[in-house]
Every structure is written in C-alpha cells, then in structure tokens.
Structure 1
C-alpha cells in the first residue's frame, strides 16, 4: 500500500504541469489556471452587476423594485449548470448570437453571482440605517450623492466578508463548465485519471488541494480589501477628491473687500 501511494503521488507530480495549465503555451489555457481565470472574471462581473442592481433597487420606484427582486429570485432559483447550458445552447437559437465556451461560463457565473451580490448589498443598505443617509441629506447632498459618498462605501466595508463567500462559491462553480466542453481543473483531472488508472485517490486529492489554494487566495484578496477599507490612516483618493469638490461647490464665494469697507474698518475707533 505505501508503495502504491508513493507511485500515485509520483504520477501526480509528473502530471502537475498539465493539471496547472494544460498544454499552455503550446495549446489553449486549461486546468487550474483556466479555473482561476474564469473565477476572477466571474467574481468581477458579479460584483459590478450586483452593486449596480442594488443601487438601482435603492433608487427605483416600488413597482420596478418588486419586478427586479422577482427577477433576482428567479436567477437564484436556477441551478448554475442549467444556466450555463441554456446560455450556450439556447442563446444562439433565440438571439442568433454565438458565445464561446469560456465566455458562456463567465456570463453565467456573473449573472448568478450578481443575484446573490445584490441581495447582500441590499441587506447592507438596510443594516447601515437611515440615520447616516438623513445626515448626508441635511448637509445638502442629493439622495444619489448620499448613497454614493456615504452609504455605499460603508456598506461595501461591512459586506465584504459576505461578498468573499459569494466569490468562493463562484470559484467552485467553475467545475460545472465541463457541460460545454471547457477543459478546466476538474476536466483535466478526469483526463489524468483516465491515463493513469489506479491512482484516482492521489489525483483527486491533488485537485482538491488546488481548489483549496484557489479558494484561500480569493479569501485572502477579500481580507486585503477589507483591511484596506478599514484603514483610517489613508482616505481613498477618489472619495477625497469627490468630497472636496462637493464641499467647494457648496461653499459660497466671498466677495472681495471694497475700498469703502477697508476705510470703514480703519476709521472704526478702538474699543476701550
């Protein structure tokens, strides 16, 4: 048994380059590198779309907000596997648009992730409360300025741990890309296992470790972003510039002193 296990890990080490990137650069990118690439693109798209939808929900009238929430609930109810399948096979038939395999997976991940991200951000808006928004409005900000400059930065800071969980879930969902023929990490592992019969335990243990490292890296990125947003020593440049411009725009310009005012100030008797 020990000799068999050692032989299995030797096989894994011999196929490690193929597990990591496939035949790249001689062939297309595959394996763990493609999994990480799809995860990064899917997480970025999900975050941008989800935050945008959450802002739209916050500003939209009640009937439109209810329709958007129903659409998001429908997206969350669809399995990721079915959404990938529909996007790849039905989109060309319905819209006449052919999307590549990797792009289809990224699109499906972004849509599913956006549905969950919008829900997380909406809960964050509710957790921040109405008091800070009212304070910003009392300073003269418009509702959109209060949301962008006050509520949204605090909500992102509070919800980053939950967003990190969404990102990790999307990274694991990349294993469903096999349905459209994407040669990601799980597919490469199946190919390696087929070429080296009898070492399935070692092969898939190595794949589990690679998924673990990918998820740890994503969680580390979320932790770094959280630490950066919680730092009180340095304000983000874009927010500093925006707040400064807003204050300058709200401050009335003082007229220059005239000669009469200068003369009156000089002729004013000194107080006893």
Structure 2
C-alpha cells in the first residue's frame, strides 16, 4: 500500500483511456435496462396469461437465465455465435465484443426485470382488474390503462436498484475484451505501469457511483411511500 502512487491519473489519461470505457458502460446500462424492461414485461405478461403455450416457454426462459451466472452467458454468446452474425451488422466485426455484450445483457436482465414486473402486477388489487372488466375492457386494455401504470410507479425503486446492480455487472464484459470502464482503467494502468493503482481507482469510481445512486433511490422510495 505504501508504494501506491495515484498521481499518474490525470485528465489526459482519463480522456484517452477511461472516458471511452465509461461511455460504453453507461450505454450498456441504459440499453440493457430499457431492453430488459420491455422484454421482461412481455415475459411477465406471458407468465400471467394463464395459457400454457405462453407460460411454459416464458417460465423456462426466466428460470433458465436466473440459474446461470451472467459471466457464463456472456462467454457462451461471444464464443458460440458465428462471426458471420456480426458481419450482418454495419461495423459489427470491429465491435464484436461490445455488440455481444449488449445482446447478452438485454437477454439476461430481461429475466430479472420479468420477475420484478410480475410481482408489481400481482401487487395491484384484484378489484381494479375486475373494475376494468366491468367497464368492458379487454385484457390488453386493462393492462395498458389500469394495471401497468400503477405497477410501474410501485416498482420504480426496485427497477432502479436492479439498474444499479446491472451497472456493476457491466464490469464482467472485461472477460470478452469489451472496452468498458474497467477495461479503460486496466489499459491505462498497464501502459503507465500502475496496474494496482488503476484497479483501485476503478473500484473507487464504481463505489462512488453506485453508493450515490443507491442513496438517491432510497430518497425516492421514501418520497413514493409518503405519496401513497
């Protein structure tokens, strides 16, 4: 610890190495969150539909994804998907790791967001569902106009918490060489011979961001509780 020297990190290094990785980590978090919520909502509705043709595949998908470590899914997709797949995407061959990470995260996180959505939907009083039916609403209209808006409001703190966890997990794409925040610090550390300092600084950045966001979520959760 006495040999650590943090002075090597300056704006020049940050702009050349760290900033690029930070931007991708944020992009991956945002895309995976939006895509995961959309796909997760569809999976939740399938599981709640009461039709075996929908509930069975959705249940297998969700339970299967939740039973496998994320890093394994990242490696499987990156190693098993043929290179020809990435060639179909403009510039895909040059960003194979990043594209693989985005697809993997959306598919994986959808399973977790699905369970959050399902719990949120089930938390809405059955009386409101029956009221919608009494007004002549279809299942889709009931969900769109009555159930989902209330469910989303109730789930905002949990969804944000899962997003914070997702941001932490973006560091796992380092395993396939994607240029994320951790990769940026690692590259700078290796070039300037300060590997230990680089990893320590990366940990500090992750901690500060996640701790700050967690605090904001707690404040938001308290405000939502008061509104209720």
Q: TM-score range by the shorter chain?
A: 0.7 to 0.9
Alpha-carbon distance in 2 for matches of 1:210, 1:17: 15
Indicate the residue corresponding to 1:203 in structure 2: 198
Number of matched pairs: 218
Alpha-carbon distance in 2 for matches of 1:172, 1:123: 24
Indicate the residue corresponding to 1:91 in structure 2: 81
Alignment equivalent of 1:192, drawn from 172, 184, 188? 188
Q: Secondary structure at the match of 1:38?
A: helix
Alignment equivalent of 1:132, drawn from 128, 131, 135? 128
Tell me if the contact between 1:168 and 1:218 (Cα under 8 Å) persists in the aligned partners: yes
Alpha-carbon distance in 1 for matches of 2:223, 2:46: 26
Greater percentage in helix: 2
Residues 181 and 218 (structure 1), Cα distance of their counterparts in 2 relative to 1, 3 Å cut: same
When the two chains are superposed, the root-mean-square deviation of aligned CA atoms in Å is: 3.0
Residues 181 and 198 (structure 1), Cα distance of their counterparts in 2 relative to 1, 3 Å cut: closer
Work out whether 1:77 is the aligned partner of 2:67. yes
Residues 129 and 158 (structure 1), Cα distance of their counterparts in 2 relative to 1, 3 Å cut: same
> Structure 2 unaligned runs (5+)?
87-91
Residues 223 and 198 (structure 1), Cα distance of their counterparts in 2 relative to 1, 3 Å cut: closer
Indicate the residue corresponding to 1:13 in structure 2: 10
Alignment equivalent of 1:164, drawn from 142, 150, 160? 160
Alpha-carbon distance in 2 for matches of 1:227, 1:172: 24
Q: Secondary structure at the match of 1:140?
A: coil
What pairs up with 1:99-248 in 2 under 5 angstroms? 100-197=96-193, 200=196, 202-215=197-210
Residues 217 and 45 (structure 1), Cα distance of their counterparts in 2 relative to 1, 3 Å cut: farther
Q: Secondary structure at the match of 1:97?
A: helix
Residues 53 and 92 (structure 1), Cα distance of their counterparts in 2 relative to 1, 3 Å cut: same
The alpha-carbon deviation at position 152 of structure 1 amounts to 0.6
Residues 19 and 219 (structure 1), Cα distance of their counterparts in 2 relative to 1, 3 Å cut: farther
Alpha-carbon distance in 2 for matches of 1:217, 1:108: 27
Large movers: runs of 4+ above 4 Å: 216-232
Tell me if the contact between 2:161 and 2:217 (Cα under 8 Å) persists in the aligned partners: no
TM-score norm. by structure 2 comes to 0.81
Work out whether 1:68 is the aligned partner of 2:58. yes
Tell me if the contact between 2:186 and 2:195 (Cα under 8 Å) persists in the aligned partners: no
> Structure 1 unaligned runs (5+)?
22-29, 233-272
